[in-house]
Structure 1
Amino acid sequence: MKLRRIVIIDSSSYFLTRICIHEVLRTTRYFFGISLSLIIINLAAIVERADENLLPSVYKEVSEAFNIGPSDLGYLMFMRNFFRGLASPMAGILVLTYDRPTVLAMGTLCWALSTGVMGGSHYFGQVAFWQAVNGLGLAIVIPSLQSFIADSYSDSVRGTGFGLLNLVGKVGGIGGGAVATVMAGHEFWGVPGWRFAFVIISALSCLIGFLVFLFFVDPRRNELLDRGRDSGSVWVESWTAMKGVMKVKTFQIIVLQGLVGSLPWTAMVFFTMWFELIGFDHQKVAILFSLFGAGCSFGSLLGGIIADRMSQIYPHSGRIICAQFSAFMGIPYTWFLLRVIPPTVDSYHTYAITLLLMGLTISWNGTACNAPMFAEVVPT
């Protein structure tokens, strides 16, 4: 059993204390030539997306269980997204202070417990509160996942790296949403299906958090320890880094664009409920949801690959061109989906084809432009 000397950073006083601990599990491992850490990161992305899509997939059942309307359902999403946005800078401070396995495990456990408790809630206020806690967990996990991908790929293939992460994440979103939609129409041992789905995702999230803590190795752990020796205050360092990032023009433009660009994706969480209200049964809604998710999955990977090639040909505009194309394609598809197709069950196949093609073309922005450009303009 090998012993290794490491440094633990006490964030309250920032003193460094050396101790000897057993370091058997925290060695870099490979599975069929692929880093075990990268595999676990992708598993975490799968469960994270499944958790995100869980509530929107059972909107109709939640609405009936708590006697609430669409505005209240929107409030639940607002609570999660508001607290996730508010707490996201905290992830940067935690990553600067601790190694990412600990940070990821903390965030995963936070969202896992909140998801499980939501499944057992009996009052609307309880669901809203735990949605906020869920947002805090996601705020810690998502930036940490993205920073790991940024450190694991070079600039020339970073779009592909983010595309692969998005692809496997979307698989989890498809699976979580489709399974929850189908389960919502049944009962399991006297428990409503939508509540049972929350419990299952919670258990899987806890398992992933456990694997992250045991087997995930931070590729920048040594840099973290060196930075800890030289830095006087993590809070001063974090605040200085945040001010520096906010001064970057590329960062400012992407954030301003995101204020508008995120609105359609927020509205799309009502797709499942909308199709159910049109008259489709749970199985057909699950298929429609899966087709749209599959389109977005492969579209995000395709956008990342194309943008990598475009950035080599046009270094200063290639990624932006891809993002502009993807954003523009949302206009005709949204108009056709909402205004042209008759909202009846007879339009099932038309909806299916439209959603698949729509997902393939409107999902490029994050992997083709935003994430790779963030990684290039923001200091490590």
Structure 2
Amino acid sequence: MQRWRLVMLTIVVALAFSMEQADLGVVQSLYGPIARSLGCSAVTVGLLTTLRGVTQAVLTPFVGAAGKTMNRIYLAMIGTLIWGITNIGIGMASTFQQAAAFAGLNGTGLALVLPCVQSILADVYSADRRGLAFGLVMTAGILGQTIFNYVAISSGDQIIHGVQGWRLVFYILAGLAGMTTALLFIFGLEPRTASRRVKLRGETGLGERRHNPIPSYSYKLLPRHLYSSIKAMLQDCKKLFTVPSFSVILLAESIAAVGASGTGYQVLYIETIGFTDNQTAVLSIVFSLGLAVGMVAGGILGDAFAKHFSRYGRPSVNQCSIAVTAPLVALFFKGLPGAAQFSSGVPGQMHKYVALYCAVLFLVAIAAPMEQSNNAAMYAEVIPEELRCSAYAFDRGIFGLLGAVAAPLAGILAKRVWGGNDLSRKEAPQASPSEMQSFHALEIVNARALENANMAVIVGAIVLRAVVYSALYWTLPQDKQALLRQQAAESCIKDLPELTGVELVRLQQAVSRKTSHGRASSLSVPSHEDRQDSSKAVRYASEPLMDHMRAPASAR
């Protein structure tokens, strides 16, 4: 692949990521304005995220199956087009029910886009550069979220040319989704196209040799092929869960999805403790910029550690990230001057602490997201190429489902366990002194409730993930070596043109049995020294071939 095409493809993928993050962040930043406009509570508005995530989770497995045989760029284009249409619908909604219907359809777009572009990115970058590639693309997503968070927070309650600010934000999102669709059509490139059947990435040294045959495209999601599509999806699922590292990472991602529900109420919490809208927007920008730095830093550190410590490099980066994040989160909610025990609840009284909050939020944001770019790279290291789209689809589906279900969790805990009340309430411009005093007292109660709820959700998820990642120290080296043996064996098979079709199928089945995960076979696992010698890895992978060649012709 020519370098300029690789650069343009990466930029387009990054734009798709930024649209997804902006779409998610905007809803979370507009909980208050949407709730007041549609006449519901902030907790109810959180159900918009739930509906979208459920739709995404239901559809992503089918997208994974479709991505094996269909052009993934076209699938992503359809997804971004759906984004645009549904964002227009949300912006035009006059009731919560209408907004909920379009939010559910919005999940269809997410299901189509993210697994496809993630698997394309994994295909075009080599193992030693994937972490950085995913980090840069996810950074672009965070930057998109940063811009729209600022716009949403600063203009959500405004009236702009007769249009409510939060509605205008969704219209802008729709326009950018249409632009992304056009750019995908112009610059998007499916790496598996027929014109690139030979050493797709090896030609420019940008990746390793392709070991799998390039599939032909077909439209297997048409109704007459629905049964076969479901069957293929279930087969892919079965294969994926035979890879222990995939299950471990997926579990950690699932826990992270639940923990992320606390960040959805971060803007509301910052406003509650006394920051103005503009100050809240500044803090949100700083947090998003920290996330962008953390994504890249996680990818770079993961690549560097994986290069020098292949057995435990990436898992150790994840656990170090978690070890730094937990105390910083506790400090943010309980140790700063704006905490409920120190706050007066009066808006505008926190201006002298803006710099302090910016510093702490920036550090939290750098440490927290490192594992995301690292996990995306680890998937590509242990999952066969033909299953990567399905792997990313399942990951996004499970993450989206649990994140959607857990989206209102922090709000529900704050309201029902810690006594929060009327979380979306806004101070009236004209009020008597007694009413103002009552309002400020209520804000302190709400701040304490949000602090406790966020601490329970976020820190609890952090501790659980730290335990789960420990399993990767055992599973990751074995899964990486098993994938290497499988790829080497498939490469050796292609060098035996004298085999008949039946013999080739039988031999491939033998290789699959030898290299399958969780087996009890005679194929031994190479020692640590052997793992450093690629020629020995090929020899291990070639055992089924040697067995075939030694067998008499009548037994083949």
Taking structure 2 as the reference length, the TM-score comes to 0.60
Structure 1 contact 333–354 (Cα < 8 Å) conserved: yes
1:254 aligns with 2:260: no
- Which piece of structure 1 moves more, 107-116 or 225-234? 225-234
For structure 1, the 5+ residue unaligned runs are 1-27
**In structure 1, distance between residues paired with 2:49 and 2:325:** 22
**Alpha-carbon displacement from aligned partner over 1:243-278 (angstroms, at most 9, x marks no partner):** 100221111111222232222222202111222222
**In structure 2, distance between residues paired with 1:293 and 1:126:** 30
**In structure 1, distance between residues paired with 2:291 and 2:7:** 26
Tell me the residue number matched to 2:359.
Answer: 353
Aligned-residue identity in percent: 26
- Which piece of structure 1 moves more, 303-312 or 337-346? 337-346
**Alpha-carbon displacement from aligned partner over 1:106-164 (angstroms, at most 9, x marks no partner):** 11111211111101101111111211111121111111121111012111111111001
Mapping for residues 29-68 of structure 1, pairs under 5 Å: 35-68=7-40
Query: 69, 84, 89: which is aligned to 2:56?
Result: 84
Change (3 A) 1:374 1:135: same
1:362 aligns with 2:368: yes
Structure 1 contact 300–364 (Cα < 8 Å) conserved: yes
**In structure 1, distance between residues paired with 2:230 and 2:157:** 49
1:125 aligns with 2:82: no
Query: 251, 265, 273: which is aligned to 2:268?
Result: 273
Structure 2 contact 69–217 (Cα < 8 Å) conserved: no
CA shift for structure 1 position 225: 9.4
**In structure 1, distance between residues paired with 2:6 and 2:279:** 37
Instruction: For residue 53 of structure 1, give the secondary structure of its aligned residue in structure 2.
Output: helix
**In structure 2, distance between residues paired with 1:160 and 1:30:** 16
Instruction: For residue 220 of structure 1, give the secondary structure of its aligned residue in structure 2.
Output: coil
Tell me the residue number matched to 1:299.
Answer: 294
Structure 1 contact 90–140 (Cα < 8 Å) conserved: no
Tell me the residue number matched to 1:178.
Answer: 150
CA shift for structure 1 position 57: 1.3
Structure 1 contact 150–375 (Cα < 8 Å) conserved: yes
Q: Residue 255 of structure 1 aligns to which amino acid in structure 2?
A: L
**In structure 2, distance between residues paired with 1:361 and 1:229:** 41
Query: 355, 377, 388: which is aligned to 1:372?
Result: 377
Instruction: For residue 275 of structure 2, give the secondary structure of its aligned residue in structure 1.
Output: coil
**In structure 2, distance between residues paired with 1:350 and 1:229:** 55
**In structure 1, distance between residues paired with 2:264 and 2:126:** 33
Tell me the residue number matched to 1:328.
Answer: 323
Structure with greater proportional strand content = 1
Q: Residue 361 of structure 1 aligns to which amino acid in structure 2?
A: A
**In structure 2, distance between residues paired with 1:221 and 1:52:** 32
1:114 aligns with 2:120: no
Instruction: For residue 228 of structure 1, give the secondary structure of its aligned residue in structure 2.
Output: coil
Structure 2 contact 73–116 (Cα < 8 Å) conserved: no
Change (3 A) 1:309 1:29: closer
For structure 2, the 5+ residue unaligned runs are 198-211, 344-349, 386-556
Tell me the residue number matched to 1:104.
Answer: 76
**In structure 1, distance between residues paired with 2:230 and 2:36:** 46
Tell me the residue number matched to 1:264.
Answer: 259
**In structure 2, distance between residues paired with 1:30 and 1:260:** 38
Query: 204, 215, 220: which is aligned to 1:227?
Result: 215
Q: Residue 369 of structure 2 aligns to which amino acid in structure 1?
A: S
Specify the structure having the higher radius of gyration (Cα). 2
**In structure 2, distance between residues paired with 1:361 and 1:321:** 13
CA shift for structure 1 position 192: 0.6
Mapping for residues 184-195 of structure 1, pairs under 5 Å: 184-195=156-167
Instruction: For residue 206 of structure 1, give the secondary structure of its aligned residue in structure 2.
Output: helix
Tell me the residue number matched to 2:554.
Answer: none
Q: Residue 337 of structure 2 aligns to which amino acid in structure 1?
A: P
Structure 2 contact 192–215 (Cα < 8 Å) conserved: no
CA shift for structure 1 position 74: 2.4
**In structure 2, distance between residues paired with 1:197 and 1:29:** 37
CA RMSD of aligned residues (A): 2.2
Structure 2 contact 62–230 (Cα < 8 Å) conserved: no
Tell me the residue number matched to 1:288.
Answer: 283
CA shift for structure 1 position 34: 5.5
**In structure 2, distance between residues paired with 1:323 and 1:225:** 34
**In structure 2, distance between residues paired with 1:328 and 1:280:** 29
**In structure 1, distance between residues paired with 2:82 and 2:241:** 28
Instruction: For residue 215 of structure 2, give the secondary structure of its aligned residue in structure 1.
Output: helix
Q: Residue 301 of structure 1 aligns to which amino acid in structure 2?
A: V
